[in-house]
Structure 1
Amino acid sequence: MCRWAAYLGEAVFLEDIVTAPCHSLIVQSHCAQEAKSPTNGDGFGLAWYGDRPEPGLYRDILPAWSDPNLKSLCRQIKSGLFLAHVRAATGGATSRMNCHPFVSGRWSFMHNGQIGGFEKIRRVLENSLSDAVFDQREGTTDSELFFLLMLDEGLSADPIGAVSRATSRVIEASRRAGVEPSLKLTAAFSDGEALHAVRFATDGHAPTLYTGAFTSRAGRCLVSEPFDRDGGDWQAIPPSSFVTMARDGTSIQPFAPAVAQLAMAV
């Protein structure tokens, strides 16, 4: 599983989260404490928002701890909204196109988790995409495909609904293929204005997610695991939750796939 961190608030240098803290994302890339594997060395990526509507993007296949370019960029880039990710591949080659975050227009997305039995349902899910969205497919990962499913389900107009319907499509495809649905989904995504996150798993054991205040600035973080365990104000996000973080506050609401909602209604 991967590790990631996202920030929204007053502009800060990326190094304040990615490289400087005692348990920074760089440290987590080789010494994660709340993941199945402590090592996340299959690439990394950054997406940050500045003066343009679409985010800047930097990704590479090197382990995050061994790339001096990453440290230099984080020392110089300042942003009030950014996403950072270190990858532990569960499928898909180690290539730049398979590194998170993924970007489409003003949207950025990163994921910790996986679609179980992906190779048995990948073709069905890809074929279900509209032509315009399918043409954006660059890599081979289940994470990128899930992002495209979200876009296909109307992400711009309805973020939580799009994630719910995309989750439903994965579950239904698994059932039709005779595969027990197995989806682990702890993801963050943004349109440059708000920062969203979801924590969900079909087996109830979703990868970890925390929110916390940035202690020295007016901002908040969403992280796979805390980057400062000494005095940080960290709150664990419950499983089956959807988080929306805006400039004026944070909301946490229950999350369920559309199929589950339909079953309860019936």
Structure 2
Amino acid sequence: MCRIFGFRSVMQSQVHRSLVSADNALMQQSENNPDGWGVAYYIGGAPHVVKSVATAVSDEMFRRVSGVVTSETVLAHVRKATQGQLTVFDTHPFQYGSWVMVHNGNIANFGEIREQVLDRVPPVLRRFILGHTDSEALFYLMLGKMAERCDLERRGYPLDDLAEAARAAIDIVRELAGELCEDDGGDPITSNFLTFVITNGQTMLAHQGGKLLHCSTHKKHCPERDSCPYWAEECERKVEGGFVSHLVFSSEPLQGDNVWEPMEIGEMIGVDWRMQMQRFGRRQSSPVAPRHDELEHELEGVGQDV
């Protein structure tokens, strides 16, 4: 299936190695994920999203974009389509306002339950859905749950609220399509896989939903430790929570100085605008989210053109 990459740091950094030059960089991973690519990076708090239906490894634009990206926050994706069409509308990352999301997974039998899923998305948000993928529907389902808790355009969107909204959206998918598949090698069409990373450039959250996802918060030895003004002890040791200098997610561990750990299924890891990291463990036997009335009043103003 797809491969995803997420990067959040206290300082602007280049990600060319992770996307292009490492032995197993995202570009190389696109050989088995040939159905398009996308990169989102933030400048001045605004997301810049570049997407193509070409295969990244053979697309000069992917190399050029990856070579110029310098940002505190980056999301990237190479696609192997299971739902939707080979169009830019169905290519990740998906964007609404300051929020972007990449997804590696599948909502089982989405063609049969698509209208039921979209019915749970507030109409003020639903009208911005442009493609046909389950991934975009999941994104807007999550946005609706996020808007119940906090203004979507709040720069410092609370990480706890984001995690709760993600859980609520996942519960709806479980209600409609069944439980998450815990076998990474399960059928990519008939199984539920909800591995994703979502960010607004400051708050970032990742969920391991059946498809493998790895996390890195530190390096074995930082080559810039003697010159970097942001260097701290956390740069070279594992932390369970609190401040981190960087947080990186990747479907596959990338070769280099970073220390990688696999996330557990159902686990969520994220950082807030202060780079304070939290781990949200798997919720056992979580209740399925009840259906709510449409949120037109609560979401007043959310659907303004951006």
Between the aligned partners of 1:248 and 1:8, the Cα distance in structure 2 is 8
**Residue aligning to 2:286:** 261
Asked whether 1:210 is paired with 2:237, we answer no
Tell me how many residue pairs correspond in the alignment: 241
Contiguous gaps of at least 5 residues in structure 2: 151-160, 179-189, 225-244, 289-306
Residues 184 and 140 of structure 1: CA distance in aligned 2, closer, same or farther (over 3 Å): same
Between 233-242 and 208-217, report the one with greater CA deviation: 208-217
Between the aligned partners of 1:216 and 1:6, the Cα distance in structure 2 is 21
% same residue = 26
1:123: Cα distance to partner? 1.2
Between 75-84 and 240-249, report the one with greater CA deviation: 240-249
The answer to whether the Cα contact below 8 Å between 1:211 and 1:222 also exists between their aligned partners in 2 is: yes
**Residue aligning to 1:188:** 197
**Residue aligning to 1:118:** 110
Between the aligned partners of 1:17 and 1:54, the Cα distance in structure 2 is 22
1:256: Cα distance to partner? 3.6
Asked whether 1:81 is paired with 2:73, we answer yes
Between the aligned partners of 2:223 and 2:59, the Cα distance in structure 1 is 27
**Where does 1:129-140 land on structure 2 (aligned, <5 Å)?**
129-140=121-132
CA offsets 1:194-240 (integer angstroms, 9 cap, x no match): 2210112xxxxx11111123655653311101121x65411111111
Query: Aligned Cα RMSD in Å?
Result: 2.0
Equivalent of 1:100, from 73, 92, 107?
Answer: 92
* AA in 2 matched with 1:62: A
Asked whether 1:237 is paired with 2:240, we answer no
The answer to whether the Cα contact below 8 Å between 1:54 and 1:107 also exists between their aligned partners in 2 is: no
Between 129-138 and 247-256, report the one with greater CA deviation: 247-256
Asked whether 1:48 is paired with 2:41, we answer yes
Asked whether 1:166 is paired with 2:192, we answer no
Between the aligned partners of 2:78 and 2:96, the Cα distance in structure 1 is 20
Tell me the SS of whatever aligns to 2:287. helix
**Residue aligning to 1:34:** none
Runs of 4+ in 1 over 3 A off after TM superposition: 213-218, 246-249
CA offsets 1:46-97 (integer angstroms, 9 cap, x no match): 111111x331000000000111011112112211101000000011111101
Q: Please give the TM-score of this superposition, normalised by the length of structure 2.
A: 0.74
* AA in 2 matched with 1:139: G
